[in-house]
Homo-oligomer: A and B are copies of this chain.
C-alpha cells in the first residue's frame, strides 16, 4: 500500500425530497447565489421551480446562468465569472450533472483570479481561493459532486483539460434519486460507464498489497453492473437509481484510490474523442476502456485475471491467467453492449482519420499513465484497437 492523504469534506444529503432544503443549506455559506444549470430540462421536470422556491424562502438573492452543455465550455464559464464579479456573488449552486458541476467549479476558480480562468488549466496560474459551491445532482455519473476535479473544454482549439484541487470540493451535494427519473436510458448507461471508468482508473494499478481497496472496488463494480441493468430497463426504479447515485459519488470521492497509484490514461484518450466530436463522456469511455485493457493487460495479467474471477465469476479452472484476463475484458465489453453503449469508434460513427492527431494531443505534455507508460505510438495503437 502506498502512503496517502485522504480528506473529503463534502456533505452528502441523500434521499427523497432533499432538494427542498437547498436554500437553508446555502445560507451557511452565502446569501447571493449564482444558480447554474444546463439545457433547461430542470424546467420541464419542475426542479427549477422547487429550487427557486427554496432560495426565495431562505431570502437568498440569485442570478441565473443556464445553458451548460455536455463537455462544458470555457466561454460560458467566463460569462459566469463575469456575472459573479459584477454582482458580488458569494456562492454558486450547480443543478445538473457532471458538466454543470464542472462548469460551476471552474467559475468558482476564476472569480477571485485577475487573469483568465483557462490559465489554471494550462498550468500558468496557482489556485489560491474559490467561491463555495453546492450541488443538486440530476445524473449519477461523473462523481463531480464530491470530487476534487473539474474538466472543461476550450472551444479555441477543441482542447479538453482537467484541473484538480481540494479547494474544488463542493460544500454539499444533494442526491435525490427521484431527480434522475426523466433521464434518457442512454444517459443512464453512459453514467454507469463513467462510474465504472472512475473505478477502473484506480483498480488497474501496479501498487501491490491493496487488498481492502481492491475488494471495495470490486463490490462497487458489481453493484453498478447489477443496478445499471435494472435501471436501463426501468429508469423510474428508485432503488436501482439510488444505488447508482451513491456509487457515482463513492467511485470518485477519493476513497477507492487510497494507497494506490492511479492510471487515468483512458480518460485522457476519451477526452480527445469528446473534444473533437462532442461525444458524451461515458460513451467515449465504453469505447476506450476495452481497447486500453486489451493493449495493456499483459503488464499485469494477474490483476486482470483477478478482475475476471472476482467481478465476473469466470471460472479459473477453465483456462490460464491470460485466458482469464481476456475473458474479463470480453465480459465487460458484452456488458457495455447489453447496456446499449458503443464499444468501438465505428459504433460512435466518427471517422478514423484523426487518430494520429488525437494521440498527439493526448500525449502533448508527455507520456500518459502509471499502469504502464503510454507514448504517442501506443495511443495510436489503442485507438486502432478501438476501431
Contact = CB atoms under 8 A, between A and B. Distances in A.
Interface stretch (A77-85, A89-97, A110-118, A221-229): A221-229
Contact of A6 (B12, B213, B227, B247): B12
Nearest to A222: B215
Contacts of A211: 223, 226-227, 243
Contacts of A285: none
A179 interface: no
Contacts of A10: 7
A10 B15 CA distance: 24
A169 B13 CA distance: 18
A103 to B, nearest CB: 24
Given A1-B246, A6-B14, A8-B8, A212 B223 contact: yes
Contacts of A239: 1, 208-209
B246 A14 contact: no
| Identical copies in the complex | 2
A255 B213 CA distance: 14
A300 interface: no
Q: What band does the interface of chain A fall in when counting residues whose beta carbon is under 8 Å from B?
A: 35 or more
Which one of A8, A9, A226, A239 has the greatest number of beta carbons of chain B within 10 Å? Answer: A8
Contact of A15 (B2, B7, B13, B226): B2
Interface string A211-243: 111011011101100110000000000010011
Contacts of A218: 219
Contacts of A222: 215
Interface of A: 1-16, 18, 208-209, 211-213, 215-216, 218-220, 222-223, 226-227, 239, 242-243, 246-247, 250, 255, 258-259
Task: Report the 7 A-B pairs with minimum CB-CB distance, sorted nearest first.
Answer: A3-B15, A215-B219, A209-B239, A7-B11, A219-B219, A212-B223, A6-B12
25 contacts: A1-B14, A1-B242, A1-B246, A2-B15, A4-B12, A4-B15, A5-B11, A6-B11, A6-B14, A7-B9, A7-B11, A8-B8, A12-B258, A14-B258, A209-B243, A211-B226, A211-B227, A212-B243, A212-B250, A216-B216, A216-B219, A216-B220, A218-B219, A219-B219, A250-B255
